[in-house]
Amino acid sequence: MYPKGMYVPLFIAIVAIFVSTSFMVLDHLTFKVHRSHHHHDDKKTNQSICDSFTPNFPTIDPSTTSILCVDHNGCCNFTTVQAAVDSVGNFSAIRSLIWINSGIYFEKVIVPKSKPNITFQGQGYTSTAIIYNDNANSSHGTFNSGSVQVFSTNFIAKNISFMNVAPVPGPGAVGAQAVAIRIGGDQAAFWGCGFFGAQDTLHDDRGRHYFKECYIQGSIDFVFGNGKSLYENCQLTSIASPGSRSINGAVTAHGRASKEEDSGFAFVNCNVGGTGRIWLGRAWRPFSTVVFANTFMADIISPEGWNDLNDPLRDQTIFYGEYNCSGVGSNMAQRAFYVQRLNDTQALPFLNSSFIDADLWLQSFSN
């Protein structure tokens, strides 16, 4: 399901080298690509790169879906993803499938509330990536730092990566949080996608969301927010500093603030690995709710497993559960006292797509 060995880290290393934090470097590289594309008068290379462009557009019903094409070499109507998003009519009733060719798209993308029913379809999460390098300092807050920000409903992404390549924060760094994607709309679904960053990679902000066979990488709170989301068959990879005896990372930081809110994260049939010494979750807010079920956990998980942010009052209201997990990190013998070892009945509501009311919306996205 996932690339073996060092393939994904190598992919990210290449991206990081390509995308310098200097816009001048990026502009220069982009210019060279476009310049070579327009050398039609060169006798030795009189063919355009677009002559061999053969997009694998999916079969669609034009009465319900339209296709927009994005290619950074200029072989489509759009060279940026944002331009394609902007071209979609406000509150369109039909789905707009934005087909994005292989390549690196260095841009900040916003899908506003007025643009529902949009699909981003890449060519593989190690082939197509939208990336940017904002952090909390540069964007006036963590929530604004996302390379991609989705506020509309019924958003879909398939086979594409979302990255933030801001510098990885050191211990005690202030304002270095850097979000790869913020998902603030209801009914969003992601298939075969990648999410890459360090601190606060995936901002699962609010609404019901579904993630299937995705790769999620980060160090501290790299899945955070107040969404109600199901993660199935996903790889969660910590890049926290290796060799540390102290805890230096966390997978989740769920932000449920009250009993009345209906939110939580459920991780089912997932795999947690990587480097560092990490918690499964930190209680960002008092009613933080996270469950791991049927998940393999490597030995990077600290024995206590979870953290209440040194607020004993939260121990009475947070809901942290584990069910039928495996691997060295799943040993619950020394778990914090407030962590629940779920039985079959307690785990059942978290184990399938009914957790996110999928019967009301998800089935129409999976075609």
DSSP reduced 3-state for 349? helix
Q: What is the pLDDT of residues 210-236, one digit of tens each?
A: 999 999 999 999 999 999 999 999 999
Confidence of residue 101 (pLDDT cuts 50, 70, 90): very high
Q: What are phi and psi of 109, to 5 degrees?
A: -115, 130
In Å, how far are 25, 192, 203, 273 from 233, measured between CA atoms?
Answer: 38, 10, 19, 13
Confidence of residue 27 (pLDDT cuts 50, 70, 90): very low
pLDDT at 188 over 60: yes
What is the reported pLDDT for 45? 56
What is the reported pLDDT for 96? 98
Marked catalytic residue, from 221, 299, 308, 315: 221
What is the reported pLDDT for 218? 97
Average pLDDT over residues 343-347: 98
Is-contact 322 340, C-beta < 8 A?
yes
97 beta partners: 67, 119
Span of 78-82, 117-121, 174-178, 315-319 with lowest mean pLDDT: 174-178
The region that residue 148 occupies, defined by phi over 0 for left and psi between -120 and 50 for alpha, beta otherwise, is beta
Span of 26-35, 57-66, 289-298 with lowest mean pLDDT: 26-35
DSSP helix, strand, coil percent of the chain (3-state; round to 5)? 20, 30, 50
Q: What is the pLDDT of residues 231-247, one digit of tens each?
A: 999 999 999 999 888 99
Confidence of residue 360 (pLDDT cuts 50, 70, 90): very high
What is the reported pLDDT for 1? 45
Distance of CA 24 to the CA centre of its chain: 27
pTM, full prediction: 0.89
221 is catalytic: yes
Confidence of residue 169 (pLDDT cuts 50, 70, 90): confident
Q: Which residue has the tokens 């129409």?
A: 364
| Element spanning 95, H or E | strand 95-100
What is the reported pLDDT for 42? 47
What is the reported pLDDT for 216? 98
What is the reported pLDDT for 39? 41
pLDDT at 80 over 70: yes
| Element spanning 13, H or E | helix 7-18
Residue 115 CA to residue 97 CA, distance in Å, equals 12
